[in-house]
Amino acid sequence: MRLIIKEGYIVDPVNNLIGEADILIEEGIIKKINKKIEENVDNIISAKDRIVMPALIDLHVHLREPGREDKETILTGTEAASKGGITTILVMPNTDPAIDSPEAVRLLKERIKRTARIDVLIASTITLRREGKVLVDFEALKKEGVVAITDDGSSVDDENLLLKAMQEAKEKDLLLLLHCEDKSLSSKGMVNLGVISTRLGLRGIPKEAEYRRVERDIKLSKKINAPIHITHVSCKESVDLIAKAKKEGIRVTCDTAPHYFSLTEEELLNFDTNKKVNPPLRKKEDLLAIKEALKEGIIDCIASDHAPHTEHEKEVEFENAEFGTIGLETELAVAITYLVEPGLIDWCKLVELFCINPSKILKIDKGTLAIGKPAELIILDPSKEWVVKKDDFLSLSKNSAFLGMRLKGKVEYTIYKGKIIYPF
Ligand code: DOR
Ligand code: ZN
């Protein structure tokens, strides 16, 4: 199969390719990128007035397989990802059962091999059953192909245990992805603690629950010079701590999710359970700090924290609703609408946040449009406006915090290993 993508506006900062050009793809590989390519091919896609950029890499995704295939499966989740322009995801291990043993990883790998439409990388837990008591067998899991470890959904309370995990992760070269939350502070909170939680009459989660853990985990990382990645950063204080740590040369990277730079706690005044997420939506000042940190490179990348839940788990009283929003099909457009459109960042920075930096953090050779590499790219209409509608989601769950919003930027094609996988 030979394919030419004609006259697209290419954004590939790694290779300093920015501007209009044609791309020739042959046998799944990028063969040529030139101003004009005239060759006999099987398929030509016109990309006039379109952006052509590397496909996205999302390092925080919950597919619910095994155990909760009614919420999302590897098939539906990876189809949703392909629609969102994503060709690589890291899946979280808080499934049922949790991914905490080589056997569980083997089973998951089999299912991925059978049904995944894109590359699915596997994270295992840090502790058995995510109970925070006994560490998993890092060596065996690494051998089985696990690339990251995380107790996402919870934080490891025991400092000594986490220190050991950091040491092991460092030795085995596994990405340690940390959910920072002191549950003794967040207890049974549901929304950010403050005026809004009082007005709603709901128990609040203080920011301290997050940033005190960020502070502790940075301290531990510093102690043994071990790299850590802090996930879903949501407040100003966390950003400040991470900025300071980076300045000191501490090996910390982090991500945030689109809802933390587009929505605030005020959105909860109508008790919309789709906006009940953990960590909770914060105040305007936090949102502004997150945006600034994305621009300044303090926050390294954007990840969706795609967290599918069924209608009967979301369409209930706020107190009883599950935490989480889906995000695979909206993350790029939310970032374009809230970061690129207002002029905060340019397209190159967007590619850095979604492609280049996640590749570096995961240590995978992706995120660029290099000649001789597998073609994993997207063609995007940057000016297309669309409204987020329940019926349009490919994801099995429809619990989007962005429902009803008008967004800008739509993926027209996703190409994975040289083949068009979206639309399908
Ligand atoms: O909102 C969230 N949902 N935050 C988490 O940490 C876990 C996730 C889930 O698994 O649903
Ligand atoms: Zn998560």
pLDDT tens, 387-411? 999 999 999 999 999 999 999 999 9
Q: Which ligand is nearest to the CA of 321?
A: 1
Q: Which residues contact 74 (CB under 8 A, 6 or more apart)?
A: 63, 65, 111, 112, 115, 116, 120
pLDDT tens, 245-285? 999 999 999 999 999 999 999 999 999 999 999 999 999 99
pLDDT confidence of residue 1: 87
Q: Which ligand is nearest to the CA of 59?
A: 2
> What percent of the chain lies above the pLDDT cut of 90?
100
Q: Exactly one of 49, 305, 381, 392 is catalytic; which is it?
A: 305
Banded pLDDT at 47 (limits 50, 70, 90): very high
Give kind and range of the element (H or E) at residue 199: helix 195-200
pLDDT tens, 104-160? 999 999 999 999 999 999 999 999 999 999 999 999 999 999 999 999 999 999 999
Q: Is 280 in the pocket of ligand 1 (CB under 6 A)?
A: no
Atom of ligand 1 nearest to the CA of 152: 6
User: For a substitution probing ligand 1, which of 61, 152, 183 has the most ligand atoms within 8 Å of its CB?
Assistant: 152
Cis peptide bond upstream of 13, omega within 30:
no
pLDDT confidence of residue 13: 98
Q: Among this protein's residues, is 173 annotated catalytic?
A: no
pLDDT tens, 193-242? 999 999 999 999 999 999 999 999 999 999 999 999 999 999 999 999 99
DSSP secondary structure, 99-146, as one string: S-SHHHHHHHHHHHHHH-SSEEEEEE-SBGGG-SSSB--HHHHHHTT-
User: For a substitution probing ligand 1, which of 323, 325, 326, 400 has the most ligand atoms within 8 Å of its CB?
Assistant: 323
* All domains in the chain, ordered by first residue: 55-362 (3.20.20.140)
pLDDT confidence of residue 45: 98
Task: State which amino acid sits at residue 229.
Answer: H
Which residue, judged by its Cα, is nearest atom 1 of ligand 1? Answer: 324
pLDDT confidence of residue 271: 97
Q: Buried b vs exposed e over 92-131: b needs ≥16 C-beta within 10 Å? A: bbbbeebbbbbebbeebbebbeebbbbbbbbbbbbbeebe
Task: State the average pLDDT over residues 46-50.
Answer: 98
DSSP secondary structure, 320-353, as one string: GSPP-B--TTTHHHHHIIIIITTTSS-HHHHHII
pLDDT confidence of residue 286: 98
Q: Is 307 in the pocket of ligand 1 (CB under 6 A)?
A: yes
Task: State the average pLDDT over residues 309-324.
Answer: 97
Average pLDDT score over the chain:
98
Q: Which residues contact 410 (CB under 8 A, 6 or more apart)?
A: 333, 380, 381, 384, 386
Task: State the average pLDDT over residues 49-68.
Answer: 98
Contact assessment for residue 54 and residue 377, using Cβ atoms and an 8 Å cutoff? yes
Distance from the CA of 307 to the center of ligand 1, in angstroms?
Answer: 6
